[in-house]
Amino acid sequence: MSSNPICAPATPLLPSAVALVRVSGVGLANALAPLLVLPEPRLASLRTLHWDGFRERALVLFFPGPASYTGEDVVEFQLHGNPRLVRRLLGHLATLGVRLAEPGEFTRRALLNGKQDLLATEALRDLIAAETDTQIRLAQARAGAQPDWIAKARGALAPWMARAEAAVDYGEDEGISLNLNDLMLELAPLRARFHVEQARARAARHLRDGLKLALVGRPNAGKSTLFNALAGEDRAIVTEIPGTTRDVLEVRCEWRGLPLRLFDTAGLRDTEDLVERLGMARVGPVLEAADLVLHLWPAQDPGLDPVIRDALAPFAGKTLEIRTFADVAAAPGVAIAAHLGDLDALEAALKDRLLGGLAPDACLGALATDRQGALLDDLAGQLDLLAGLPPGCPPELPASLLQGAWGLLARLTGEDRAESALDALFSGFCLGK
Ligand SMILES: Nc1nc2c(ncn2[C@@H]2O[C@H](COP(=O)(O)OP(=O)(O)OP(=O)(O)O)[C@@H](O)[C@H]2O)c(=O)[nH]1
Ligand SMILES: [Mg+2]
């Protein structure tokens, strides 16, 4: 990729107090010379910029490379937040040979110049997209240092890779052999750590993406009451008339550290009411799309209506039974009384089911994207295969598994420089990032 100068607004093109325009490239002092003399590095300086009849007083910051975000020279202009003025400045920069950046191009350069790794880059994207406090905290934790287990894994794998290679290359002639027993003994803590990280990553992925929860059950089961209690606001109409909710209602919220997308649905029953039937027809697609179906079943109901049993049967694997009206009758399992705020059992059940019993804070620093999770699974799989090798197998087998694990670590951190992964990543970035 070339390092010709690029520019972009780093703030939205909307009327605002201040707009930030960023420029990055090698040798910016020359490129920008017609516009200004660059100020002292890292000191905010007021400059008057003249172009096309404009006379803009802007605060200018200069970060000489390589000690900058991208690793190149970076100049930031803070000007008045008029979108038209910002576009005019960008247009003028183009005449100086500073083209408009592609989405994520600043960060792409930071990555290619070794200023940050792929994990940090993905964390940055998540930080900008995060919608809840938990999601922000998780992304921030990932944007910092690389997880410690990556360096540990490299340290543990490297000597064994060397030994395995030596056994492959010189084994028979020189009498060098690989002791699989010793290898697995030494790599056992790493393998265990991978399994721990897999569990953390699964939980972190749920937190990152938010959980789609469908609330279903018979009319008057307390679905809308729970919907409102979790959302922390009075969004759905609640009455004691069965069949109150007809349309699907959706709300995004964070409840007790869990980012949720909740769907309230029409109560399911055999009915002649046309509107109610239309409402019930909308429940199926919600069940399909849900990560987890919460089946609300009043504690006083002895059995299940066949309509509900049939509707939920295809989703048995992702259904959680919740007994509502716990204040009215006793029932085994997860029992709640949402209108009283008695929801601790639900919190425990959700965290158990979705986070494997981990607290949201225990996921800080865990891998979280689909890409990362898949590579971690492959990595753990590689060591599981190693552990399953029969004694006396040819050294080529462990050697290739160790090499494979090494390569997966490089893919994880982006050191393999795979362009396809980068293209997919940066298409999700905003312009000035
Ligand atoms: N005692 C008690 N009453 C509840 C509980 N949950 C809901 N209710 C009451 O039960 C009635 C029905 O509650 P909703 O939340 O509207 O029930 P729904 O499942 O949304 O009903 P539909 O929209 O008709 O399908 C309301 O009067 C609620 O106040 C509970 O746990 N205990
Ligand atoms: Mg309702």
> The domain spanning residue 388 has which CATH number?
1.20.120.430
245, 352: one domain:
yes
Residue ID of nearest Cα to ligand 1 atom 7: 222
Closest ligand to residue 338's CA: 1
Which of 216, 225, 240, 271, when mutated, tests ligand 1's pocket best, judged by the most ligand atoms within 8 Å of its CB? 225
Q: Output the CA 241–ligand 1 centroid distance in Å.
A: 9
Residue ID of nearest Cα to ligand 1 atom 9: 222
Q: Say if 277 falls within a structural domain.
A: yes
Q: Say if 190 falls within a structural domain.
A: yes
381, 266: one domain:
no
Instruction: Report the chain's mean pLDDT, rounded to a whole number.
Output: 92
Closest ligand to residue 273's CA: 1
pLDDT at 11 exceeding the cut of 80:
yes
CATH number at residue 107: 3.30.1360.120
| Final residue in a domain of this structure, among 91, 112, 133 | 112
**Ligand 1 closest atom vs CA 337:** 31
340, 198: one domain:
no
User: In the β-sheet with 73-81, what is the strand arrangement from edge to edge?
Assistant: 45-51, 54-63, 73-81, 16-25, 6-9, 99-100
Closest ligand to residue 244's CA: 1
279, 401: one domain:
no
3 confidence band (pLDDT: 50, 70, 90) = confident
Q: How many CA atoms lie within 13 A of 23 on its CB side?
A: 32
**Ligand 1 closest atom vs CA 328:** 1
Q: Say if 50 falls within a structural domain.
A: yes
| Final residue in a domain of this structure, among 84, 112, 140 | 112
357, 215: one domain:
yes
**Ligand 1 closest atom vs CA 228:** 15
| Ligand 1 binding site (Cβ under 6 Å of any ligand atom) | 217, 219-225, 238-240, 242-245, 266-267, 324-325, 327-328, 337-339
Q: Output the CA 315–ligand 1 centroid distance in Å.
A: 24
pTM for this prediction = 0.80
- Cα→Cα distances 414→146, 399, 411, Å: 12, 22, 5
Q: Output the CA 230–ligand 2 centroid distance in Å.
A: 14
CATH number at residue 277: 3.40.50.300
Q: Output the CA 343–ligand 2 centroid distance in Å.
A: 18
298, 280: one domain:
yes
pLDDT recorded at residue 374? 95
Q: Output the CA 224–ligand 2 centroid distance in Å.
A: 4
2 confidence band (pLDDT: 50, 70, 90) = low
Residue ID of nearest Cα to ligand 1 atom 6: 222
pLDDT recorded at residue 279? 92
Total count of domains within the chain: 3
Q: Say if 134 falls within a structural domain.
A: no
pLDDT at 432 exceeding the cut of 70:
no
50, 154: one domain:
no
Q: Say if 259 falls within a structural domain.
A: yes
pLDDT at 368 exceeding the cut of 70:
yes
pLDDT recorded at residue 150? 96
pLDDT recorded at residue 202? 93
Residue ID of nearest Cα to ligand 1 atom 26: 240
Closest ligand to residue 280's CA: 1
Q: Output the CA 349–ligand 2 centroid distance in Å.
A: 22
276, 174: one domain:
no
pLDDT recorded at residue 145? 86
Q: Output the CA 203–ligand 2 centroid distance in Å.
A: 30
314, 368: one domain:
no
pLDDT at 1 exceeding the cut of 60:
no
The answer to whether the CB of 432 falls within 8 A of the CB of 90 is no
Which of 215, 241, 339, when mutated, tests ligand 1's pocket best, judged by the most ligand atoms within 8 Å of its CB? 339
153, 65: one domain:
no
Closest ligand to residue 249's CA: 2
Q: Say if 428 falls within a structural domain.
A: no
pLDDT digit string (tens) for 211-248? 999 999 999 999 999 999 999 999 999 999 999 999 99
188, 274: one domain:
no
pLDDT, average across residues 362-382: 95
**Ligand 1 closest atom vs CA 225:** 15
305, 392: one domain:
no
First to last CA, the chain: 17
pLDDT digit string (tens) for 49-96? 999 999 999 999 999 999 999 999 999 999 999 999 999 999 999 999
Q: Say if 374 falls within a structural domain.
A: yes
Q: Say if 122 falls within a structural domain.
A: no
**Ligand 1 closest atom vs CA 325:** 31
Which of 220, 239, 325, when mutated, tests ligand 1's pocket best, judged by the most ligand atoms within 8 Å of its CB? 220
Find the domain containing 64 and state its range: 6-112
Residue ID of nearest Cα to ligand 1 atom 30: 325
